[in-house]
Structure 1
Amino acid sequence: MKRLILLLILPSFVIFASSFAAEQRPNVLFIAVDDLRTSLGCYGDTLVKSPNIDRFAASARCFDHAYTQQAVCGPSRTSLLTGRLPDNTRVWHNRNLFRDTQPDIVTLPQLFKNHGYRTVSLGKIFSGDERELDPASWSEPEILKQKGWKNSVLGDSGGEGKGAAWEAADVPDEGCPDGKLARLAIEKLTGLQSGGKPFFLAVGFFKPHLPFNAPKPYWDLYDPATFELKDDSQRVKGISEHAHHSHRELGGYRDMPKDEHLDAATTRTLRHGYHACVSYTDAQIGKLLAALDQLGLAQNTIVVLWGDHGWSLGEKDRWCKGTNFERDTRVPLLIRTPGLLAPGAAASGLVELVDVFPTLAELASLPAPQELDGRSLVPMLANPQAPGRESALSQFTRPFSASTPEFMGYSLRTATHRYTRWITWPARQLVAEELYDYTTGPSTRHEGAFWIEEENIAAHSTQSDTRQALSQKLDHMLAERTKVKPEAQPAPKKKRKKKQP
């Protein structure tokens, strides 16, 4: 019996005890990438060139089925950094602020700060807006951007309006913001090495968020012809008007049609630009990880790399994020701990971004707040074959507004299906249902590294039992995990004074 108990606890023990002496607490390097979908070689994408993240993945645990709580920047980041679902923070829009409704929440970096860590934020972590930062989380003022960090090298974005949607300026890496951010992060990492305290360094890269501005050498990595969209450009069959977003992120750029219906040439250029930005940011992450090694910090540093939500590049007549479809809700998530067993082995179980908070708290032996909505991924770090969640929860509001929602769409992802329910808010009256089967057609197809929904089969008579079972599962999950009544109001809308980066 003693031998059995030892074998059961050994994997977790190896992860931590072999690397972290009792008197030496682990550092955390926390890397966020804005609008990064699973366009990475380590996720099976054969088109993209991401050698640095792929190399990192070979030493880390790649979570193949990680999902965001809401596929847009502010709510997704708030969920991860507070460990709470959007309904429990009332953050359904970038302008909703969690401290307006729950001022005493202890965030992930704040927990580390409260236990003696030096917590530092560089780039986009909580928000890309200076008025939506969170000073309570950090040991020193956040640096979102520094003077001269402009989206456009050629002066074609910023100011009034959004400017051009892409740019390929022939400049070195530090000619664009992410190159400058990488240099600043390396300088900060060097200082933290001799600071005498464990650190939590958060670095938030801006690309591949629009506009698709990357130095020309990263555009030159690709043959433009490879970005031809192999798609019928028809929307998913049988969906309600709520399934697609109504706000036009891409359509707001000067050279883009307002309805976001693009011709083939523009589609190729934008798909090319997104991948160029991924490769550019990948190179900056490579520099940061190399510095971690060169400074001798890697052996005592937990590294987390994550994207805040997915993205669509014209598939099924849709651009950007803002839906409950697979391409928007599925995200890259990679975690490396010193002494990790089976490095490079991917975990296929379902996980949520809200699970990151309790995971890091456990890895650092810190007491996590009891109100967290996530659960620790430590068992999956100890064993990539360990089961994940039975289902993952995502949601989105309609319209996308800082005021009280009119409709809410909850989406339940299982290992084989996705069930989405649209309801009125706050009355919770059923408006529409969606059902997709990822194991067979005709509702979905698998293309490269991505699942693409084709047809909503919720109304098919052959799917009645599956739809009902998943509907009941969603009922149970919402009753168990959402704690705030829908009548509660979100944070008041803030008048914007400046553009997001």
Structure 2
Amino acid sequence: MKQQFLKIFVLSLFFTLSGVCQTTAQKNLKTKKPNILFIAVDDLRPELNFYGANHIKSPNLDKLAGESLIFERAYCNVPVCGASRASLMTGARPTRYRFIDAHIKKDEDFPEAISLPYLLKQNGYQTISNGKIYHYGQDDAEAWNEIWESKTLWTFALPESQEIREKTKRGLPVEMADVPDSLYRDGQLALKVIKDLQKLKQSNKPFFLTMGLAKPHLPFAAPKKYWDLYDRDKIELPKSYVQPETTPKEAFHNFGELRQYENIPKKRDLPDALAKELIHGYYACVSYIDAQIGLVLDELKRLDLEDDTIVILWGDHGWNLGDHKLWCKHVTFEKALRTPLIIKVPGKTKGEKTDAITEYIDIYPSLAELVGLEIPNTVDGKSFVPILNGQKSEKNWAVSKFKDMVTLIKGDLFYTEWTDNKGVAYQRMLFDHKTDPLELDNLAEKPAYQETIKALSKELREKWGKNFLVDTKNSKP
């Protein structure tokens, strides 16, 4: 009798403890913060199928977009890589003195800001920087558990291209090489991110894993199979391949970034054949990075991490492919400011689109809110989580700048002022995208628009940020 009682008691205790353990495991599962896969792409235009284009082959991006919220009106806050990335990672607006050009460092321009990866690391996340996240790999080093940069010669694959590169400033602007994907930097990057996923799968910690792709940045170098996806004879120059006289001359530049490459004329327009070759190369590079992203997303699924991981993909700014006879970025026309931005939140997104105007400084507070973290007071952006929850965005504007150019995007209007260091305008530009989506008719000097100009000028100053004209780096005690 005693033995039977003891047996019943032991079994009862076992099931009670099992229930406690199971409840605890379920609680831990529910309370564990979601992972974040953070994909940054250099110089990526929103010239993709899910944005209405139908000529670039990017099946993996298309599939991801079909599971995401697609932002149709996302804008970078500054159209140059280093500044754009530092602004995005801190959620802070560029000013006349902060986040100026490609070569800035977050640690130098805004050291007191708590960056997104640092906030996540402080709150238990494993943070890994892979590839190009900041312009300089060691910038914001305290924010990362690990920083990885490829040691491969990622620029060119062919010996003859490498030789030209060694003897010149930048080498050739294009390369079509019959080589494996992993010979270039982004192919090695994909393999590294896959290994990270396999390692992080074994951890109990949530992760913030980044994938900073170098392409489609110049030079347009990609394996031959991606070039073969396109017929150059079918490639056309953009409809906006013109520089109207009504547009201020200050709006145009000599695309010095491209001019540094071999076989590019130092002045004047590019020959049409060369322009089409560059466009062809850009398309090939987009298809190449699409394949690398696909490998990573496939591994995320294979490891059963999909349902626990937020995936966000963004390009650091737009890029001109002959638009207004310009190449590269460094302007405030829409082609340099508008960017691809998609976010997949498990259980929430399934291919919806929003035309709410979104700025890149909004990414930080949105991710922080999604994982339940308090947003630091150095963040200027506004969370777009309400949009994810099906609510209407209250924001209908964005502000972008580059050097003296400051642009207010409000509804269909794109209003730019060139200002001096006191904030006084010395040139203006206004486009109405409702009637002029290609930005070919500057309305700023037309009498009928002067009241509109006055109102936009006032609003621009109200929205460009309280410290826009303050040199905070050099005015500290």
TM-score between both structures, scaled by the size of structure 2: 0.89
Q: 1:136 aligns with which of 142, 157, 162?
A: 142
Contact 1:237–1:454 (CA<8 Å) still a contact in 2?
Answer: no
- Which structure has greater helix proportion? 2
Q: Which residue of 1 aligns with 2:392?
A: 386
The CA distance in 2 between the partners of 1:78 and 1:364, in whole Å, is 21
Q: Among 407, 411, 417, which residue is 1:415 paired with?
A: 411
Aligned mates of 1:239, 1:224 — CA distance in 2: 31
- Find out whether 1:273 has 2:281 as its counterpart: yes
Of residues 57-66 and 157-166 in structure 1, the stretch that sits farther from structure 2 once superposed is: 157-166
Q: Deviations over 1:331-351 (max 9, x none)?
A: 00001111115x101011100
Compute the displacement of 1:202 (Å): 0.8
1:298-313 matches, within 5 Å, as 298-313=306-321
Aligned residue type for 1:375: K
**Which residue is 2:6 aligned to?**
none
**1:483 aligned to 2:467?**
yes
Q: Please identify runs of 4+ aligned residues in structure 1 that moved more than 3 A.
A: 18-22, 157-160, 230-233, 484-491
Of 335, 340, 358 in structure 1, the residue corresponding to residue 365 of structure 2 is 358
Q: Would you say the 8 A contact 2:314–2:341 is kept in 1?
A: yes
Aligned partner of 1:454 among 434, 440, 447: 440
Number of matched residues?
A: 446
Quote the Cα distance in structure 1 between the aligned partners of 2:268 and 2:120.
43
Output the CA distance in 2 between the equivalents of 1:388 and 1:219: 43
Secondary structure at the aligned position of 1:113 is classed as helix
Structure 1: stretches of 5+ with no match in the other structure = 1-17, 398-407, 446-451, 492-501
Of 349-358 and 43-52, deviating more is: 43-52
Q: Which amino acid in structure 2 is aligned with residue 75 of structure 1?
A: A
Q: Report the secondary structure of 2:64's partner residue.
A: helix
In the other structure, the counterpart of 1:184 is 192
Find the counterpart in structure 1 of residue 126 from structure 2.
118
One of 312, 335, 349 as aligned partner of 2:356:
349
| Residue number in structure 2 paired with 1:469 | 455
Deviation at 1:23, TM superposition (A): 2.3
Describe the superposition over 1:347-381 as per-residue Cα deviations: whole angstroms up to 9, x where unpaired: 11100010000001000101110221101110111
Contact 2:97 2:469 in 1 (8 A): no
1:428 matched to 2:434? The reply is no
Q: 1:120 to 1:335 in 2, by over 3 A?
A: same
- Corresponding letter in the other structure for 2:149: L
**Distance in 2, Cα, partners of 1:23 & 1:188:** 23
Distance 1:260 1:217 in 2: 32
DSSP-derived class of the 2:418 partner:
strand
Which range moved further: 61-70 or 149-158? 149-158
Aligned to 1:11: none
The CA deviation at 1:89 is: 7.3
SS at match of 2:427: strand
Partner amino acid, structure 2, of 1:153: A
CA contact (8 A) 2:238 2:322 kept: no
Which stretch shows the higher mean deviation, 295-304 or 468-477?
468-477
| Cα distance in 1, alignment partners of residues 110 and 235 from structure 2 | 45
Contact 1:67-1:331 within 8 A present in 2 as well: yes
State the identity as a percent.
39
Say which SS state the counterpart of residue 39 (structure 1) adopts: coil
Q: Which residue of 1 aligns with 2:267?
A: 259
Structure 1 residues 53-452: aligned runs within 5 Å: 53-87=61-95, 90-127=98-135, 129-130=136-137, 133-140=139-146, 142-146=147-151, 148-155=152-159, 156-157=161-162, 158-159=165-166, 160-231=168-239, 233-246=241-254, 248-259=256-267, 261-341=269-349, 343-383=350-390, 386-387=392-393, 389-397=395-403, 408-424=404-420, 426-440=421-435, 444-445=436-437, 452=438
Native 8 Å contact 1:19 1:338 kept in 2 = no
* Aligned mates of 1:324, 1:389 — CA distance in 2: 20
Q: 2:114 touches 2:378 (CA, 8 Å); kept in 1?
A: no
Aligned equivalents of 1:71 and 1:20: distance in 2?
42
CA contact (8 A) 1:90 1:490 kept: no
Compared CA separation, residues 91 and 52, structure 1 to 2 (3 A)? same
Tell me, yes or no, if the aligned pair for 2:401 and 2:407 is still in contact at 8 Å: yes
How has the CA–CA distance of structure 1 residues 216 and 388 changed in structure 2, closer, same or farther, with 3 Å as cutoff?
farther
Conserved in 2, the CA contact under 8 Å of 1:174 and 1:180? yes
Residue 488 of structure 1, CA deviation: 4.5
